[in-house]
Structure 1
């Protein structure tokens, strides 16, 4: 039954990816500017401009270019960068490890902050502890990465001189980008952890456990935590996709050589194939994260499996 649901959800994700690829292609070709001008400059000879335009298929109808783009995606050929003439997949693959390392540390920091805060707020619901934890959560959600990042740089890199300003070559370079990206995720997860724990603690199974005389500590960390894990794990899986969207801003602020910075550089250079590849990969991660969240929810909650099977 679970395998059938997996195949069904995977089949539903494929049209979404096709829609994303189509949307990215046509939106990029609507952006003002000519990639030939960006590559050769406006003073280039007309013959050179036409030759490059023909080599890039820019003199062909848009629907023809779209067909070439889709056929390349199906064969694993994502095109060639207009700037350095290297395969798009090769350039993207070089940047993925830096983004994965930042995303992993940010998600770990988010978990280390969110779970204790969510438990603390739920255990003292309505008291000052709850209000303090939720105030932190509100600040984390409200402060954008492009503001928090430079603020941390001014404090810890410029004023105190403890950490490097940008890049990833120096020791401790990952600390500030991780804090910038991880605190926003922790704010979202802590609110979810609080609401999930409070919802779980008022279920019939918890009242039964209390009737049997089980200690409150065991009820909160064993019985209630197991019930609260279903929505929390689902939300965490969704944040795995969202972290790439936040990484675009964070990597740009800290000059972190990952996929997000590569996307911004490609947009500035009007490198259409590279932009399409970067955006398509980020969008695919969002789709896969949603698929993973659905599957984790089905795996953790037998009730969902029964309803899906029906």
Structure 2
């Protein structure tokens, strides 16, 4: 077993980040708890049919007191920020569609998204992430969903993936101020798991409305999830990348090309050559007026 004393500061920081990304909020109780005494106190209470009355100084008394405090805390009314009650998926989709279609501008859509409580993903995420950058650019880059760094910092494409994306864009003469950058899913799924089909359907009206309001002339889709979301099918990003397709937006269509997500390139740097080909095709289409 490895002790904390055996870890370097960098290794300890990495371990703490791992626990934070996994959803661990704390590692220790605020007070030491004697679980054996707590169990005996609960057992005695059930047998007697009433709360135990041990001496104040006994461990069982301390454990019973902790149980009572926890029971009282659980019975207390939830704070205002408590989770919203679950609603049927179809009803949530209808609410999302109504909220999205009611927005007449991107700021209105952002406010509607932040006020929307019909998706369970919002309950476990720290941040609601919306499009950032220049909505007048005519260039839109869409990723899949927030990662741990994005959720923690409240920014789209933060951390190492964001740094690599900045370098990818800079290589074709673009920066974050030259594009509108967003995600399909505005909330980080717990543990970076894939969103469920109902969760995707609930989020769909918001990303569709973002594109409709931004009116981009061209789209760059990042990663397997994003490509499948817009193109359909179950093919991998290697089969979907590098091909121009039309995405229906309102009464019109927008040309879109998919490429590998920056995280894919961090995991397998050999694929950078493929992403570079896609980025060059994206640049050529921009220069041609999309």
Taking structure 1 as the reference length, what is the TM-score of the superposition?
0.25
Greater relative contact order (Cα 8 A, min sep 6): structure 1 or 2? 1
- Higher-helix-fraction structure: 1
Q: Which has the larger share of strand?
A: 2
